[in-house]
Amino acid sequence: MERRYFGTDGVRGVAGEPPLTPEFVLRLGQAAGAFFRGHTPRPVVLLGKDTRLSCDLLEAALAAGLMSQGVRVEHLGVLPTPGVAYLTQRLGATAGVMISASHNPYQDNGIKFFSHQGDKLSDEAEAEIEALLERDLPTQGIGTVSDFREAERMYLEFLSSKGTSLEGLRIVLDTANGATYRLAPRLFQRLGAEVFVMFNTPDGRNINKGCGSTHTEFLRAQVVEMGYDLGVAFDGDGDRAILVDRMGREFHGDHLLYLNALMRREPGVVGTLMSNMGLEVKLREAGIQFYRTAVGDRYVYEKLKATSLSLGGEQSGHILFLDHAPTGDGMLTAILSLEAMRRSGRDLSEWYEALPMYPQLLRNVRVKDKQRVMGHPELHRAIQEAERALDGQGRVNVRPSGTEPLVRVMVEGPAGVIEEVSNHLVGLVERLDGTL
């Protein structure tokens, strides 16, 4: 079913602009409330948020819409997205909602729904909610709202139970001025690590600003200059983690999948079209099957379920351990990966060197209409020609961003070739966007 407002990661946009106006979010709450009430007579919805300025406004509008349909709303406060997913499942709530735009700048925001099982609401459920948005929904009872004050404690207890001792490790944490800013230091200290914390003073506007999993430059420098063993960077809503080794090198999602796959002796791993060919080759050498999906943790999750596997993820550090949690969790990813590292007896830097990467060039091209650009036959012909030029020694992937007005151009292969191929494709995308 085609969806108008829901993308691969909920409803996204610039806060205060269509579709994320208070009026629309109120109607979205009404539609979601009517949908949940249609499946249970007394729905309970847990509502969490990150630290960006617009969260309180959108939270109030969404809660009002839900309550107009007789829903009981439990505010979780600032909590990582996976914490909302965990508590939704743990407490037996009807659904959970996270207000966040993940790694995007503070001006953006989004609304993501979770089912009672803690996984993302299905495409079919989102389509039903969209259909209800088109109707004039009368008030159906009056719901209530309260604060669930045990949210942080329960989520921290869950994470602590999954980790083992980190005694003796000196770790720099970058919490992106986001949803992990209180919990991450407490978790790593509880597990015995010596912790130095950066970017943990959110002011509503500094979430992800020059920090976090998409901007690890300062973290990498600090790990080296301060002589720490490693660093960990989270994104704004805490579902991603990027590690940094003692030499200041970024240990991203492909490295995390390789380390965990070998130490967990996984029969298979799920990655995406963006996963480096180096990962696929090394897993194959280890006798581990590798599957690729479209980009997006939703698709990784679906493939894991279809193949009865547990481990999958993306280069961004969004890793799924389905034997531990139904959604990606940055803090869980970090502590499970560090446990695997210590069990291996090898330093993170050794694991970095164990996975040689094929050169890969990823460029984001801002466009006015990504779908029209992607549908242009000239772009399709250029991609086919680029793949022939690489002659089986690399890959080309051109795709629209699921959350931003961008076309992402990825070229992988020999270093002397990929820049020329990338320049041609980027130039074509820019030209097509300007002429359409």
End-to-end CA distance of the chain: 28
**Before 19, cis peptide (omega within 30)?**
yes
The yes-or-no answer on residue 102 being catalytic is yes
Check: CB of residue 236 under 8 Å from CB of residue 312. Answer: no
| Tokens 């990813």, residue located | 333
**Dihedral sign from CA coordinates of 201, 204, 206, 212:** positive
d(CA 287, CA 266): 9
The answer to the question of whether 323 is labelled as a binding residue is: no
Asked if 245 and 230 count as a contact pair (C-beta separation under 8 A), the reply is: yes
To the question of whether residue 102 is assigned a binding role by annotation, the answer is: yes
Q: Binding site annotation covers 369? A: no
CB-based contacts of 247: which residues, under 8 Å, 6+ apart? 224, 349, 352
Q: Which parts of 218-288 are beta strand (E)?
A: 230-234, 241-244, 250-251, 268-272
- Check: CB of residue 118 under 8 Å from CB of residue 85: yes
* Nearest residue to 373 (alpha-carbon basis) of 407, 329, 341, 345: 407
Q: Which of 54, 68, 100, 102 is catalytic?
A: 102
Label the pairing between strands 170-174 and 194-198: parallel
DSSP state of 243: E
β-bridge partners, 363: 409
Does the annotation list 297 as a binding residue?
no
Q: Is 100 in contact with 109 (CB distance < 8 Å)?
A: yes
Rounded CA separation 137/114 (Å)? 22
Q: Annotated binding residues, as ranges?
A: 102, 235, 237, 239
Q: Annotated binding residues for Mg(2+), as ranges?
A: 102, 235, 237, 239
Residues classed as catalytic: 102
